[in-house]
Amino acid sequence: MITAGIDVGSVSTKVVLLIDDEIKYLVRPTGWSPRDAGLHAYQELLDSAGCNNNDVSGVVGTGYGRISLPIIDKAVTEIHCHARGANYLVGQGGLLIDIGGQDSKAILMNERGKVVDFAMNDKCAAGTGRFLQVIAAALGVDVSELADLAENRQPLDINSMCTVFAESEVISLLAKGSDKRDIIAGIHRSVARRVWGMASRFGPAQCVIFTGGVAQNHDVRNRLSQEAGCPVIVPEISQMAGALGAALYARELKK
């Protein structure tokens, strides 16, 4: 059976085709139209897999653009899709932290990937992917460089939780002559502290499963591990957890 999951996030759109147990996937920028981004990415993946929409038994949409997709059989929130996808990838339950473009989530799941409880950040973008983008821009580096720059550096204290204020704080640290790499380390630690502050309600944990775009940053990962006081597991395709979860829901739907 072939099923699909489309995760239209605020920054990137992820699509997974689940062909029996084979996972095919694709990541594309969401841009200004969540609907088009989802549909195009889906079509592109179908083309590269050499199949068409009729071969697909079910499609589930998730992410903030989930409702705008006309082709889906069902929309499931990213909270449940991330849990299901992450559980499939790591084969265990526990505490899942997902940091996406605009929000961060702490999800407690059972050993089958069912959500037991969850918390999500409020209004502001502090500690999310967007937060890291803003800081990277202020420091004149690319987001992909952040992890290497900060590795093994001594983190400076960053006290502002608000993205805009943190940016000002970073700029004033630069003005004082602080090392850029220590500033980034400080930013990473503040991201880790903030998300663990939210997740620790469900702790202490044996280990933390970490997904979403920010999980690609190995320095944030290490610092999260320090805050949580336990190992952090990042699945290889951590960014795909939501889309994969959606494809798994689609499979269940059609069983």
Partner 1 sequence: MRPESMKIFDELRNLNVLTVQNAKREGKKVVGCYCTYTPQELILASGASPVTLCGTRQEPIPAAERDLPRNLCPLIKSSYGFAVTAKCPYFEAADVLVAETTCDGKKKMYELMSKIKPMHVMNLPQGPKGEEALVAWAKEMNILKDWLAEKFEVEITEADIRKAIKLMNRERSAMRNLHATTKVKPAPITGVDLLVSVWTKGFNINKEDGITLVEQLTAEIEELTAKGISPFTNETPRILLTGCPVGFGSEKVVRLLEESGASVVAFENCSGYKALDRLVDESENKDVMVALAEKYLNIPCSCMTPNEGRFDLINKMAKEYQVDAIVDLTWQACHTYNIEAYAIRDYVQNQLSLPYMHLETDYSESDVEQLRVRVQAFLELIQGE
Structure tokens at 50: 């050499």
- Burial class of residue 239 in the structure, from the number of CB atoms within 10 Å of its CB (0-12 exposed, 13-18 middle, 19+ buried): buried
C-alpha dist (Å) from residue 8 to 37, 54, 62, 110, 251: 8, 22, 6, 25, 19
x/- contact string, 164-193, with partner 1 (CB under 8 A)?
A: ------------------------------
- Name which position in 7, 78, 98, 169 contacts partner 1 (CB under 8 A): 78
Total binding residues toward partner 1, as defined by CB under 8 A: 16
Nearer to partner 1, 9 or 155 (CB): 9
- Name which position in 118, 196, 202, 210 contacts partner 1 (CB under 8 A): 118
Q: Which one, of 246, 245, 212, 211, lies nearest residue 75 by Cα?
A: 246
| CB-based contact 25:237 (threshold 8 Å) | yes
Task: Report if residue 103 touches partner 1, rule: CB under 8 A.
Answer: yes
Task: Report if residue 64 touches partner 1, rule: CB under 8 A.
Answer: yes
Nearer to partner 1, 107 or 170 (CB): 107
Nearer to partner 1, 125 or 183 (CB): 125
Measure the CA–CA gap between 230 and 238, rounded to whole angstroms.
19
Gyration radius of the chain over CA positions? 18
Task: Report if residue 114 touches partner 1, rule: CB under 8 A.
Answer: yes
**Interactions with partner 1, residue window 126-145 (CB under 8 A):** none
Binding site for partner 1 (CB under 8 A): 64, 76-80, 103, 114-118, 120, 122-123, 249
